[in-house]
Structure 1
Amino acid sequence: MKKPDNHILVIFGASGDLTHRKLVPALADLHKQDLLPEKFAVLGLGRTPLTNEQFREKMSTGIQEFSSKKGDVPNGFLKRLYYYSFNTKEGAEYKGFKDYLLALDKEIGSGGNFIFYLATPPSMYPLIPRFLSEQGLSRDDKGFRRLIVEKPFGHDLASARQLNRELLNYFKEEQIYRIDHYLGKETVQNLLVTRFSNGIYEPLWNRNYIHHVEVTSTEDIGVGNRGGYYEESGALRDMVQNHLLLLTSLVAMEPPALINAESIRNEIVKVLQSLRPIPKEEVPRYVIRGQYIESEVKGQHVKGYRQEKGVDPKSRVETFVAMKFYIDNWRWAGVPFYIRTGKMLPTRVTEIVIHFQPTPHHLFADDPAIIRQQNQLVIRIQPDEGLLLKFGMKVPGAGFRVQDVNMDFHYSDLSDTYLPSAYERLLLDCMLGDPTLYSRGDAVEAAWNFIDPILQAWKEEPCIKVHGYPAGTWGPEEADELIEGDMTWRYPCKNLSDGNYCEL
């Protein structure tokens, strides 16, 4: 694999949890695979006063605990870590930071190439790029300069547009990498290969052969110590606006002209711009929100959301969202898409389910259940990553009784295959200058444009219900009513091939 050009990765907020748990362990894994450039350094920034040695020691514990490639912490990698302490909120202090950065660049010979990673609270997103620009550190005429921005990209449509405008005042769009770690997962990227390299799928991937599409991402834990953050976010902002709409876009996009960043991202934007708006008065019909309440799970008492630390005892913030919507274009006209996400559900799982149309003539419908039988393609993102195809087979014996059987593939079946972590893949892509798996500004705004009326309806219409659901269940019963007829959601298990409800 091609190695990136020499550069320095500058991490703002380097004393925080993201750097310790995700970023530096991912970089250490890249080092172990010899994928980092020869002349490379990580410069951590923060207000916490640390020496280089103290920073290296702290990051060493993170590598030992969270690195995907287990083993000794490579001393050669730790020597590439540096730390500089200053107040990142004060523009006047950036001159000292610039002098330190340029001196480090000269010392290691990184050629004036810098990546700036904002592992900071969102309130810093407009400030840091401005201060970098004031010091001339956004100019890419003497080396590349790139800016990685973590989600959330705004709080609503207006704030997302404002953030994009502010970022573009100081960096060009091609310099900005808006990171969504879901797109770094191997199985998400495999969506493109599954669709566009297999002649058995792509001809069927349209309204003529697909009945509906289901996207599920659930967790079996509550908000924990993030109650304060979740009160400002909720499941719709935290999961649907970014992760799940992006997964939907990869399912629904047209074949790109080329496998390159611009072509793929153009097709993603087209899908997001084709989402049929849900009018505010129609929100209760198409969107169900819920909040977990106290319950007993496997013999243990579990707190409800309103009992969690930092949560308003009268909170109406949703911890569960189920949604039905349509994509108004030639390929998907009339095909319903269903999204579901929530906390304190039976298992942690993310998957996409393609429900194919039933056969037009039911030859073997001795059992009324066969009439409802449909082929399914399950694309499992996590855990037990893989693909599952469900189809009908004859039960041995007299007659023509039919039952569902599975044909499955698991990534774990590939011997000696290493699945890189999402941050590992995305960091390397940014180093190589490949923004394919990063969100573009117009895609972010298109997603918010779809979500905004729902948020406004919830804010302006207090009569719209927040349904309680016992912790450890699959959410409010009302979510089942979104899907027409006798069909229901697929209730996945931890293991891809297991039957429904195995966790309950």
Structure 2
Amino acid sequence: MPKSVPVPIFDCVVFGATGDLTLRKLLPALYYRFRDGQMTPESRIIGAARSRLSDDDYRARAARALEQHVPAQDHDKQTIHHFLNQIFYIPIDATEPDADWSQFLRVLDDACIRVFYLATSPDLYGPICQALGTAGLVTEKSRVVLEKPIGHDLASARAILESVGSVFSEAQTFRIDHYLGKETVQNLLALRFANTIFERLWNADVIDHVQITVAETVGLEGRGGYYDRSGALRDMLQNHMLQLLCLVAMEAPVSLQADRVRDEKLKVLRALKRMDPHDVATHTIRGQYAAGAIDGQPVPGYAADLGDGSTSLTESFVALKAQLCTLRWANVPFYLRTGKRLPKKVSEIVIQFRAVPFSIFPSDAAEWHPNSLIVTLQPEEGMRLEMMTKDPGPGGLRLSPTGLDIRFEKTFGRRFPDAYERLLMDAVRGDPTLFMRRDEVEAAWCWVEPILQAWASRPDHPRPYPAGSWGPTAAIALIERDGRTWHEDLE
């Protein structure tokens, strides 16, 4: 496998360095980039958090994280040793007005790129950025990376964006959505705009509807405090799933230059039909998991996972029907669903084509299935085109659905970089193509907020569903009353 091209020398300062995101995702991603020769030996990772740790203490934590979250076949003792030597740690409470930021000035290299990764609660984004600016730590070579969700609603999102924007310019601000770093998501651009066969079919004349599903088997995983303030709509749909919808529905950009791509995504967000309270009542379903079973093992319900004995109105599942007010997508519904404690972990996009207008084949020749294109993001990235073909052999003409299947790792015979690996290096390079622009964030909140407001005004609770099921039965009715059904491979 060819070595990756090294990125420029950089200092990466990770706030929230002792948190789950850093240990589970960021450090393994940086390790892989170091192992593959993309992260230069002069570059440094500087963890920052409130815990009073030494460099060696934090390196020991990082080593345990790599052991736990990097597969054994990818472990190389010498490489890990050299990687850990590039990690340092500075204890600081970024919420304290008198915090000592001078220690960063003593450590950071003015000559190289500085990436400040905020793996913290979003309400700390503004204060940390303001403190960095006041301390003189922001240079022309600085970037800041923000995790989702940005804000709790439109007003809070704008407040965060204003606070961060007063210190870092738009070109220096990288709002990360790890779904956009997945190989399959980027392949959507290649699939559509590098293949005449698909782009000519990518419209309401040929496509019946689109489904986007992001399903998780896990529950709250100790994140009840955060999740109960957020819910499935804010946590997954407002960012990840709307970004996927944008890439499916966008028009061809004039080039792959970052703002040209993001201009087209913004047009999609602004073309989404806004929901009034009646639309919310008929086109959205919210649910909350009850006790059930995952993989044959009993699991508790949402309230038990929350652990404080209270009754919560937070949704752990949402399904909705969205519509775009454009000529390309006129009368083509987009069905979106996401939830926790569902039967399997899967993220996929289904492009469902229309059925043939009439059949020349005998009625008993097949159980007809219209063509569909399934783009799988996880657990295994790939694409599958389902079509009708003749069963081989004599005995009459019989048809059955057959798939043309591309699984990326199997097809290309090598491991592909994780989304965080790609996006972290893009931030170092200063390439914002796969990151959300400020106006995208605001447009997404503008569409989601009426749904949140309508839910808040209704006294009903989220519909219960047993863990291990595909959500409330109302989610099935949402799509089946239109004469459609959720993708059968998920069942």
- Per the normalisation by structure 2, the TM-score is 0.94
Contact 1:45 1:86 in 2 (8 A): yes
The reply to whether residue 90 of structure 1 matches residue 93 of structure 2 is: no
Tell me, in whole angstroms, the C-alpha distance in 1 between the residues paired with 2:128 and 2:137: 11
The 3 A distance-change label for structure 1 pair 365 and 488 is farther
After TM superposition, list the pairs within 5 Å mapping 1:198-213 onto structure 2. Answer: 198-213=195-210
Contact 2:5 2:37 in 1 (8 A): no
Q: Which amino acid aligns with 1:36?
A: M
Contact 1:231 1:311 in 2 (8 A): no
Tell me, in whole angstroms, the C-alpha distance in 2 between the residues paired with 1:311 and 1:359: 54
The 3 A distance-change label for structure 1 pair 369 and 273 is farther
Tell me, in whole angstroms, the C-alpha distance in 2 between the residues paired with 1:149 and 1:486: 41
The 3 A distance-change label for structure 1 pair 179 and 297 is closer
Q: Deviations over 1:299-346 (max 9, x none)?
A: 533211122133554222111111101111121111100001111111
Tell me, in whole angstroms, the C-alpha distance in 1 between the residues paired with 2:402 and 2:112: 58
Match of 1:21 among 2, 24, 29: 24
Contact 1:392 1:403 in 2 (8 A): yes
Contact 1:290 1:318 in 2 (8 A): yes
Match of 1:468 among 446, 464, 477: 464
How far off its partner does 1:70 sit? 2.9
Q: Which amino acid aligns with 1:123?
A: D
After TM superposition, list the pairs within 5 Å mapping 1:296-335 onto structure 2. Answer: 296-297=293-294, 299-310=296-307, 313-335=310-332
The reply to whether residue 363 of structure 1 matches residue 363 of structure 2 is: no
After TM superposition, list the pairs within 5 Å mapping 1:481-492 onto structure 2. Answer: 481-483=477-479, 484-492=481-489
Q: Which amino acid aligns with 1:385?
A: E
Match of 2:87 among 81, 89, 114: 81
Q: Which amino acid aligns with 2:286?
A: R
Indicate the SS of the match to 2:256: coil
Tell me, in whole angstroms, the C-alpha distance in 1 between the residues paired with 2:161 and 2:171: 13
The reply to whether residue 70 of structure 1 matches residue 66 of structure 2 is: no
Q: Deviations over 1:201-246 (max 9, x none)?
A: 1110111110000000101122232222221111111110011010
The reply to whether residue 180 of structure 1 matches residue 198 of structure 2 is: no
Tell me, in whole angstroms, the C-alpha distance in 1 between the residues paired with 2:362 and 2:111: 70
Q: Which amino acid aligns with 1:476?
A: P
Contact 2:179 2:185 in 1 (8 A): yes
After TM superposition, list the pairs within 5 Å mapping 1:409-448 onto structure 2. Answer: 409-448=406-445
Indicate the SS of the match to 2:166: helix
Tell me, in whole angstroms, the C-alpha distance in 1 between the residues paired with 2:294 and 2:25: 30
The reply to whether residue 390 of structure 1 matches residue 386 of structure 2 is: yes
Show the counterpart of 1:496: none
Unaligned segments of structure 1, at least 5 residues? 494-500
Contact 1:182 1:188 in 2 (8 A): yes
Show the counterpart of 1:115: 115
Show the counterpart of 1:37: 40
Q: Deviations over 1:54-88 (max 9, x none)?
A: 11121111122223633325322211111111221
Tell me, in whole angstroms, the C-alpha distance in 2 between the residues paired with 1:230 and 1:126: 21
Indicate the SS of the match to 1:126: helix
Matched residues, number: 483
Tell me, in whole angstroms, the C-alpha distance in 2 between the residues paired with 1:240 and 1:296: 25
Indicate the SS of the match to 2:214: strand
Q: Deviations over 1:453-498 (max 9, x none)?
A: 11001101114x52211111111121122224442001435xxxxx
Moved more, 256-265 or 295-304: 295-304
Indicate the SS of the match to 1:125: helix
Indicate the SS of the match to 1:220: coil
After TM superposition, list the pairs within 5 Å mapping 1:148-163 onto structure 2. Answer: 148-163=145-160
Show the counterpart of 2:138: 138
Contact 1:364 1:370 in 2 (8 A): no
Tell me, in whole angstroms, the C-alpha distance in 1 between the residues paired with 2:377 and 2:296: 30
Contact 2:385 2:404 in 1 (8 A): yes
Indicate the SS of the match to 1:377: strand
Moved more, 80-89 or 421-430: 80-89
Tell me, in whole angstroms, the C-alpha distance in 2 between the residues paired with 1:477 and 1:279: 23
CA RMSD for the aligned pairs?
Answer: 1.9
Indicate the SS of the match to 1:92: coil
Q: Which amino acid aligns with 1:40?
A: S
Match of 1:52 among 43, 51, 55: 55
Tell me, in whole angstroms, the C-alpha distance in 1 between the residues paired with 2:394 and 2:282: 46
Indicate the SS of the match to 1:93: coil
How far off its partner does 1:112 sit? 4.3
Tell me, in whole angstroms, the C-alpha distance in 2 between the residues paired with 1:283 and 1:343: 21
The 3 A distance-change label for structure 1 pair 45 and 334 is same
Contact 1:98 1:135 in 2 (8 A): no
Q: Which amino acid aligns with 1:346?
A: P
Show the counterpart of 1:381: 377
Match of 1:459 among 456, 461, 464: 456
The 3 A distance-change label for structure 1 pair 256 and 280 is same
- After TM superposition, which residue ranges in structure 1, 4 or more long, deviate above 3 angstroms? 296-300, 309-313, 367-371, 395-401
Q: Deviations over 1:274-315 (max 9, x none)?
A: 111011232110001111112245553321112213355422
- Per the normalisation by structure 1, the TM-score is 0.91
Indicate the SS of the match to 1:284: helix
How far off its partner does 1:100 sit? 2.2
Tell me, in whole angstroms, the C-alpha distance in 2 between the residues paired with 1:302 and 1:99: 49
Q: Which amino acid aligns with 2:386?
A: K
The 3 A distance-change label for structure 1 pair 318 and 368 is farther
The 3 A distance-change label for structure 1 pair 255 and 311 is farther
